[in-house]
Amino acid sequence: MAGGIQLSRLAAVGGYSALSAAAGVASSKPSAAATEGASKQTNLCTAVNDALHIALDANPRALVFGEDVSFGGVFRCTVGLKERFGAARCFNTPLSEQGIVGFGIGAAALGCTAIAEIQFADYIYPAYDQIVNEASKYRYRSGGAFNCGGLTVRAPYGAVGHGGHYHSQSPEAVFTHVPGIKVVMPSGPYEAKGLLLAAIRDPNPVVFFEAKMQYRTVVEDVPKGDFELPLGVARVAREGSDITLVGWGQQVGVLERAAAEVSEADSISCEVIDLRTLIPWDRAAVEASVSKTGRVLVSHEAPVTSGFGAEVVAAMSARCFLRLEAPPARVCGYDTPFPLVFEPLYLPTQQRVVDAIRATCNF
Amino acid sequence: MQRSCFLINLHSAARGQLRAPAQSPWRTAGRAARGALHVAAAEKKQKLMWEALREAVDEEMEADPTVCLMGEDVGHYGGSYKVSYDLHKKYGDLRLLDTPICENGFMGMGIGAAMTGLRVIIEGMNMGFLLLAYNQISNNAGMLHYTSGGQYKVPVVIRGPGGVGRQLGAEHSQRLESYFQSIPGVQLVACSTVANAKALLKSAIRSDNPIIFFEHVLLYNVKGETIDGYCQPLEKAELVRAGRDVTILCYSRMRYVVMQAVQQLEKQGFDPEVIDLISLKPFDMKTISDSVKKTKNVIIVEECMKTGGIGASLSSVINESLFDYLDHQVIRLSSQDVPTAYAFELEAATIVQPEQVIEAVHKVVGAPVPA
């Protein structure tokens, strides 16, 4: 058991970048040769930092604020912003998530591009009412006269190995039932930079979850300059024909590794889809894939009951009902608070995904 | 015993069989007079849902001195929907606690009180305001039993009116069941009739788990009968109508929307099975799967919005576990993914209407054969 735990953590630390760089996985990332000199090896926190620098440089009304962002942030994502753009554009807030988002909504309503940081996604709930009752309804209830589209709320989410209840949560599900906002979850540094720039510039309030475990552990080629990736469009991370694996955020890496394992061991060909945006989600891309493969498996760290996987499975079961060869599968966290010592048992690890792929393909 | 015999006889009387008990003072009265008295007494037995909820609270508070109720205007004002009407006169200002307008604060206070020995009912004046207390509900109420290795229990009942009313606007028409469903550690219950409202609330108050108890703004004045002393199991669904063609799963006010559609569907020759979920978390998969195995078709009718709603969760579980039984994809009839409009026509257009249920049954079972 102990060996198993060590192994999965090592895999998480080193596996992602090794896999995507070496395994010839289909992706939308530009090849290093084509963009020689124009990209560099970047980890997630630096990619986010780059995006914030670019956003503030391009737009004089862009602000970054949150707890401890002024000195560079507890995850170092806001390093250098105050020094470069001044304390009026990068500043600390009190320990009040409700206030941070409320202030952001107000600033955005007056035309600022307000980029708020919530220190851990587990703390986003005090701001939940502001997001659900204010930000998401602003444009609608004013008949379009006002909006807070300039608001982006960034928060680090997800398992980190030792986070326990309040430093590991994946709260995306409760934001996906909210019309009026967008929810974006990048799967790595390249995706994060492009999606964050798109999110900041999107004329709608966006909640942006970054996988905290990837801040330092995942490194890949990221373009140095300004670029955007489209919101609402999924990415086919790996092409395949036997089963569609759907994920987002850091779970995409787990799905890619599981796909490689079953390709090697069982000759099962998996198609891996990185949703990127949860609302609005790219239903058409997933449907096209499931229509091709006839099997679907959705995986996320958040608890299984009423996680976003439920919506994906429900939609695919309806739209691809006659095409499905096997029941849809969900490999997710269990319906318990996020544990501390039991984290390796709780997480939807590569082993659990592989088991579910095999069970679904052998139905 | 005497009283329940009396009630049973009244019930028979209502069905046209006059049978006065031996000690009844009416035995010597004329048949017509007896009839009138029986009808009057039968009418007296009908209660409004808010009265039934109030009875549940009153009975539990009387039986157990640790039960208390807190929220905005629950004390002297008697509750915005009268669920605690005049209870403060009986139990005092501390057991019927008027709180400031601070949902996060009094939710935390209620949870703390529950951890230290009280059984707390926390009322949200409207469910939508409980979003302010989301952190307390999710990170505290849902977790503390687990975090403390079982040393603390959190016996709270978080209740209040939710759902789409009549032109209350977006912020006062929220359906929070979808937001709460993914929180581990809380139980979700939705009442729908006068009988189950009282019986479920009694059970909820007696339960040691944190329970979110969904009432509906438009159902407080629904009339019905209660069953004395009955505590309904919180995890069981209710079979509203047995049938063979299709399983219609619904909850709260949608039960009435579905039954309205059923009146039409019966005339058209359909035989739907209607199940009121009652327990939104956990789902009563025994009742649901028995039904799906019989009818092979499922329609979920919910008032929450489609994306990521209760229906999404329920549909996934049905597809995962009953894949081979389904003859048709699971249909979800839900509210539109928009904030609820204020304008009457727009509001009506965003929620499920009986015509949609009828159309869905036609789609799933087959249109009625013209006579």
Which one of B174, B315, B338 has the shortest CB-CB distance to A317?
B315
Q: What is the pLDDT of residues A68-98, one digit of tens each?
A: 999 999 999 999 999 999 999 999 999 999 9
Search chain B and give the residue with CA nearest A97: B135
CB contact under 8 A, A305 and B171: no
Residue B172 a catalytic site member: yes
CB contact under 8 A, B147 and A165: yes
| Stretch B188-216: mean pLDDT | 98
Q: What is the 3-state secondary structure (H, E, C) of chain B?
A: CHHHHHHHHHHHHHCCCCCCCCCCCCCCCCHHHHHHHHHHHHHHHCEEHHHHHHHHHHHHHHHCCCEEEEECCCCCCCCCCCCCCCHHHHHCCCCEEECCCCHHHHHHHHHHHHHCCCEEEEECCCHHHHHHHHHHHHHHHCCHHHHCCCCCCCCEEEEEEECCCCCCCHHHCCCCHHHHCCCCCCEEEECCCHHHHHHHHHHHHHCCCCEEEEEEHHHCCCEECCCCCCCCCCCCCEEEECCCCEEEEECCCHHHHHHHHHHHHHHCCCCEEEEECCEEECCCHHHHHHHHHHHCCEEEEEEEECCCCHHHHHHHHHHHHCHHHCCCCCEEEEECCCCCCCCHHHHHHHCCCHHHHHHHHHHHHCCCCCC
Residue B14 resides in a domain: yes
**B20 close to B27: Cβ distance less than 8 angstroms:** yes
Residue B234 resides in a domain: no
Q: Is there a single domain that holds both residue B104 and residue B144?
A: yes
Q: Is there a single domain that holds both residue B303 and residue B348?
A: yes
Count of domains observed in chain B: 2
Task: Name the percent of chain B lying above pLDDT 70.
Answer: 88
- Choose one of B201, B224, B247: the last residue of a domain: B224
Quote the tokens at residue B77.
């004002």
Q: Is there a single domain that holds both residue B127 and residue B90?
A: yes
- B221 has pLDDT over 80: yes
| Domain spanning A40-223: CATH superfamily | Thiamin diphosphate (ThDP)-binding fold, Pyr/PP domains (3.40.50.970)
pLDDT at position B158: 98
CB contact under 8 A, B281 and A305: yes
- Choose one of B198, B224, B250: the last residue of a domain: B224
Q: For the domain that residue B277 is a member of, what is the CATH number? A: 3.40.50.920
Residue A53 a catalytic site member: no
**Chain centroid to CA A296:** 20
Q: Active site residue: A117, A134, A167, A210, which one?
A: A167
Task: Give the number of beta-carbon pairs within 8 Å between A and B.
Answer: 137
| Stretch A240-263: mean pLDDT | 98
CB contact under 8 A, B315 and A329: no
Q: What is the pLDDT of residues B250-260, one digit of tens each?
A: 999 999 999 99
Q: Is there a single domain that holds both residue B208 and residue B271?
A: no
Q: Is there a single domain that holds both residue B217 and residue B243?
A: no
Q: Which of B111, B129, B144, B316 to mutate to test the interface with A (most CBs of A within 10 A)?
A: B316
Q: Is there a single domain that holds both residue B57 and residue B139?
A: yes
Which one of A129, A176, A180 has the shortest CB-CB distance to B131?
A129
pLDDT at position A45: 97
- B42 has pLDDT over 70: no
pLDDT at position B368: 75
Q: Is there a single domain that holds both residue B162 and residue B278?
A: no
Q: Is there a single domain that holds both residue B19 and residue B118?
A: yes
Q: Is there a single domain that holds both residue B70 and residue B215?
A: yes
Q: What is the pLDDT of residues B291-337, one digit of tens each?
A: 999 999 999 999 999 999 999 999 999 999 999 999 999 999 999 99
**B341 close to B170: Cβ distance less than 8 angstroms:** yes
Q: Is there a single domain that holds both residue B246 and residue B205?
A: no
| Stretch B205-232: mean pLDDT | 96
User: Which of the four CATH numbers 1.20.120.450, 3.20.20.60, 3.40.50.300, 3.40.50.920 does domain A235-361 have?
Assistant: 3.40.50.920
Q: Which residue has the tokens 């978080």?
A: B158
- A14 has pLDDT over 80: no
| Stretch B15-31: mean pLDDT | 43
Q: Is there a single domain that holds both residue B261 and residue B321?
A: yes
- A13 has pLDDT over 50: no
Range of the domain at B268: 239-365
Judged by DSSP in three states, A227 sits in coil
Q: Is there a single domain that holds both residue B147 and residue B65?
A: yes
The ranges assigned to domains in chain A are 40-223, 235-361
Search chain A and give the residue with CA nearest B143: A337
Q: Are strands A206-211 and A182-184 parallel, antiparallel or unpaired?
A: parallel
B18-27, B77-86, B295-304: which range is least confident on average? B18-27
B24 or A212, which is more confident? A212
Q: How far, in Å, CA of A331 to CA of A303, rounded?
A: 10
CB contact under 8 A, A177 and B308: yes
pLDDT at position A17: 37
pLDDT at position B45: 79
pLDDT at position A5: 34
Confidence of residue B44 (pLDDT cuts 50, 70, 90): low
Q: How far, in Å, CA of B74 to CA of B82, rounded?
A: 8
Q: How far, in Å, CA of B227 to CA of B369, rounded?
A: 42
pLDDT at position A109: 97
pTM of the model: 0.80
CB contact under 8 A, A314 and B326: no
Q: For chain A, what percentages of helix, strand and coil (3-state, to nearest 5) are there?
A: 40, 20, 40
Asked whether the domain spanning A235-361 has the same topology as the one spanning A40-223, the reply is: yes
Q: Active site residue: B103, B215, B302, B303, which one?
A: B103
Confidence of residue A31 (pLDDT cuts 50, 70, 90): very low
